Amino acid sequence: MPPPTARLPRSLIPLPGESLPGFLLRLGHRLDSPPGLMLWRCGLAGANPTAHQAAASYLFLLDASKRERFAQVTGTSAEIADQLTLRPLIDRYPPIAHALISPKDPNRAPRGRRVFPPWVLSSHSRYCPACLAGDGSPIQQRHGGPWLLRWRLATSFACLKHNILLEHRCPDCRVPVGFDSTGDEFARVGLVAWPGLSGLHPACCRSHRRSLGDCGRRLDEPGSLPSIALTPELARLQERLDHLLTPQVEPARAFEAFADLQVATSIVLATWPVSAPAMAPSHAAAVEEHLADQDARMAGSVPHRILWDRGLTWSFLPRSTLGTAAVLSAADRLLQLPAAELLSELRRITGQIPDRDFKRWGKTWRILSNDASVGFRAQVTEAIPSLFPVRPRRILPADVWSRARVIPSFLPVQLDQQHGYRPEQIPQELPEHWVRIFRDDPSLSVTSAIRRLRRTLAIQLVQAASGLDAQQAVDYLGLPPGTDLLKTEDTPTIKQDTRADAAELRKGLARLAEHLASLPPDHRADYRLRRQHFAAWHLGREAFEELRDLFVTANGRQPPVPSARLHDALSALIWRRVTGSEYCLAPCFRPPFSPAGRRADSMTAEVRLARLIEQARPKSPYRVLLPALEQYARDMVMSFEQSNPPLSAITTTPITATTLQSQATQP
């Protein structure tokens, strides 16, 4: 019979960070019912009341009907039901995206799939005994603390609240907590282990063996194994990984960071034991145990014929938290190296690396190609060229960029990769003092006549830092396909001016690279992240009115241009200062702020006005606006930096999220 839709007589409020299985365990305990009955009542099991088993895919996502049913029965809301699953992390954590979105149809809406990537613990959970014991409140004294959703991520190995490594198995039966069988995590995967068992506290081990019966050991009590305290290094690493999952970090930035880490951990495990000396002996022993277990299970299999992943690929992190912490720490140290040192270390440890077709790589190279950061992808492909054969040259459409259409005389220039800056630190349009460094002329007047040179230098610097081709570098800089901004009326003069000796061009680029490498960390802006963050920004109406009133007060008259034109010019000017980008690519010239099909260029009235304001002389009526515009841009940058600290930054207290709603209002 279909389960009733009436609300349960009593319910619970989900605890912060709680997982769906943990909530159902606590709810069943409060109602003195097996968790399988809660699954049935919430519409997550079959129609028969005795059908207690629910698919593990519900850990990743509840569809709209399931969320509404869950909210109705438990007295919560659909939004709270969603927060009990991993779906909110889909744009931050690549394995969750892989589990919910098919690569064959990436534009399709996320849906529950029976795909369980190795970096999500779909069949078991790690845990902290002290957290399971609760915080001392009456409700947690009765039903225990939360089974945290974060414990289901393979990157969670420590509890920072209690400064210990998480546990991964029951101290009595030694079965990983949450297995639905005697220990084979690939036999059958369910949302809750043995959901038909009743009378167990939510913090009890639910493993069941036919010969020994139910385990039932309380996991919130001191175990037979002593808790392993965290080292400061591992605590900082866990803090950084946890911070990537918070709103304080841009989702795209977190996604790339986790993808880089996935690839790096696979390389660490594939090159073992070359990477072992970097670890403490106890940590290396835990990794060795993990690899030995994999080798033993592979003895009866043929690696090149692995039809599905049974935990044999290098992308699987060790089951033990100590082994996981060791591998992640080694991979993180690799990723923290400067570009030149990273390239050298990759070449050293990958001397005997298995070939690309070896099936134990799993999805590593697909993740590197599709999800990893541009800089790390370039370093790996350069360090291990044998794994990345040269592909046929791509034929570009006539209306898209190509290297030959940039500046032909730059073609032979090859910049040494020992530079020390990253591609995201290059703006779309190089600052004027960078151009003077390139020309080695501090008094050079940077006019619009060398705009083509500034754009080309930006492309060249990105290529030097990443190994991308010209088309990819242009895409990376955010220049839209089919937009050849290098075509200007003064192109013949530029071509003649840049027909310099290749050695001089190389020296100029080298000077720029040395200048970038000499900048302190707090002077290296992440222009790419800024472009992404402010891609839909427009100067708000209220802020524009304040600036216009400032002009009127200082000059005693209205601006001599239409209000809409001035609004767009000021918006483009501020956006350019914040993102280091081209005036004509400002969001104010694109929908929804401007009609579709509008194309701005250097001769557009608003762009010319913006340049006139920025270069206003002392007697210009626009001069009064410059301090206010500078302060507005500085405030935007400060607010952005507070919300998006460097990934390597460690904070001992949570960062307060700073919103930019007042700056992103519609005109």
CB atoms within 10 A of CB 423: 23
Q: Which residue has the tokens 């930035």?
A: 253
Task: Report yes or no on 407 lying in a domain.
Answer: yes
Do 520 and 408 lie in one domain? The reply is yes
101 pLDDT above the threshold of 90? no
pLDDT for the residue numbered 504: 72
Do 148 and 28 lie in one domain? The reply is yes
The pLDDT confidence band at residue 502, using thresholds 50, 70 and 90, is low
Residue 387 identity: L
Nearest residue to 90 via CA among 107, 110, 105, 106: 110
* 8-state DSSP, 277: G
pLDDT in tens, 196-254: 888 899 999 988 766 567 788 899 986 655 677 789 999 999 999 999 999 998 888 89
How many angstroms separate the CA atoms of 92 and 250, rounded?
A: 8
The pLDDT confidence band at residue 651, using thresholds 50, 70 and 90, is very low
Helix (H, G, I), strand (E, B) or coil at 158: strand
Task: Report yes or no on 468 lying in a domain.
Answer: yes
Final residue of a structural domain among 494, 524, 554 = 524
Nearest residue to 454 via CA among 437, 441, 476, 478: 437
Task: Report yes or no on 14 lying in a domain.
Answer: no
Lowest mean pLDDT among 322-326, 414-418, 523-527, 590-594: 414-418
What is the distance, to the nearest Å, from the Cα of residue 386 to the centroid of all Cα atoms in its chain?
Answer: 28
Do 143 and 46 lie in one domain? The reply is yes
Do 546 and 629 lie in one domain? The reply is yes
466 pLDDT above the threshold of 80? no
Buried b / exposed e over 273-310, threshold 16 CB at 10 Å, is eebbebbeeebbebbbebbeebeeeeeeeeeeebeebe
The pLDDT confidence band at residue 133, using thresholds 50, 70 and 90, is very high
Q: State the sign of the Cα–Cα–Cα–Cα dihedral 172, 173, 179, 185.
A: positive
* 8-state DSSP, 489: T
pLDDT for the residue numbered 490: 40
Do 273 and 297 lie in one domain? The reply is yes
What do you get for the CA distance between the two ends of the chain, in Å? Answer: 56
Buried b / exposed e over 444-453, threshold 16 CB at 10 Å, is eebeeebbbb
pLDDT averaged over every residue in the chain:
80
Do 197 and 299 lie in one domain? The reply is no
Instruction: Calculate mean pLDDT across residues 614-640.
Output: 92
Instruction: Calculate mean pLDDT across residues 606-627.
Output: 92
Task: Report yes or no on 613 lying in a domain.
Answer: yes
23 pLDDT above the threshold of 60? yes
Boundaries of domain holding 94: 20-214
Task: Report yes or no on 237 lying in a domain.
Answer: no
How many angstroms separate the CA atoms of 268 and 260, rounded?
A: 12
Final residue of a structural domain among 524, 557, 574 = 524
The count of structural domains within the chain is 4
pLDDT for the residue numbered 412: 36
Q: Phi and psi of 437, rounded to 5°?
A: -65, -40
Lowest mean pLDDT among 354-358, 593-597, 637-641: 593-597
Helix (H, G, I), strand (E, B) or coil at 326: helix
Task: Report yes or no on 168 lying in a domain.
Answer: yes
Provide the CB-side half-sphere exposure for 52 (13 A, CA).
Answer: 19
Instruction: Calculate mean pLDDT across residues 275-289.
Output: 86
Q: Which residue has the tokens 């009907």?
A: 65
pLDDT for the residue numbered 138: 92
- From residue 620, give the alpha-carbon distance in Å to each of 227, 235, 547, 616, 617: 70, 56, 16, 6, 5
Asked if the bond preceding 412 is cis, omega within 30° of 0, the reply is no
Do 71 and 189 lie in one domain? The reply is yes
| H/E stretch holding 24 | helix 20-30
Return all residues near 236 (Cβ < 8 A) that are at least 6 apart: 650
pLDDT for the residue numbered 260: 95
pLDDT in tens, 48-65: 655 667 888 899 999 999
How many angstroms separate the CA atoms of 511 and 177, rounded?
A: 58
pLDDT for the residue numbered 1: 57
Return all residues near 167 (Cβ < 8 A) that are at least 6 apart: 126, 127, 128, 129, 177, 219, 223, 225, 227, 321
How many angstroms separate the CA atoms of 29 and 20, rounded?
A: 14
For residues 463 and 608, the model is more confident at 608
Are the C-beta atoms of residues 154 and 120 closer than 8 Å to each other?
yes
573 pLDDT above the threshold of 80? yes
Lowest mean pLDDT among 31-40, 93-102, 179-188, 623-632: 179-188
Final residue of a structural domain among 524, 553, 584 = 524
Nearest residue to 153 via CA among 190, 120, 128: 120
Lowest mean pLDDT among 270-284, 367-381, 388-402, 559-573: 388-402
The pLDDT confidence band at residue 507, using thresholds 50, 70 and 90, is confident
647 pLDDT above the threshold of 70? no
Most confident listed range (236-240, 415-419, 633-637): 236-240
Nearest residue to 581 via CA among 554, 561, 600: 600
| Distant-in-sequence contacts of 345-349, Cβ < 8 A, 24+ apart | 346/267, 346/379, 346/380, 346/383, 346/384, 347/383, 347/384, 348/274, 349/267, 349/268, 349/271, 349/274, 349/275
Helix (H, G, I), strand (E, B) or coil at 581: coil
Nearest residue to 200 via CA among 177, 181, 183: 177
Task: Report yes or no on 9 lying in a domain.
Answer: no
pLDDT for the residue numbered 73: 92
How many angstroms separate the CA atoms of 497 and 510, rounded?
A: 19
pLDDT for the residue numbered 9: 87
Instruction: Calculate mean pLDDT across residues 375-402.
Output: 64
Task: Report yes or no on 398 lying in a domain.
Answer: no
Asked if the bond preceding 592 is cis, omega within 30° of 0, the reply is yes
Instruction: Calculate mean pLDDT across residues 394-414.
Output: 39
411 pLDDT above the threshold of 50? no
Do 175 and 27 lie in one domain? The reply is yes
CB atoms within 10 A of CB 114: 10
562 pLDDT above the threshold of 70? yes
pLDDT for the residue numbered 223: 60
The pLDDT confidence band at residue 401, using thresholds 50, 70 and 90, is very low
pLDDT in tens, 292-336: 988 888 776 554 444 445 678 899 999 899 999 999 999 999 999
How many angstroms separate the CA atoms of 163 and 172, rounded?
A: 23
Do 362 and 420 lie in one domain? The reply is no
For residues 261 and 483, the model is more confident at 261
Do 344 and 441 lie in one domain? The reply is no
396 pLDDT above the threshold of 80? no
Percent of the chain surpassing pLDDT 90: 37
Do 67 and 166 lie in one domain? The reply is yes
Do 351 and 425 lie in one domain? The reply is no
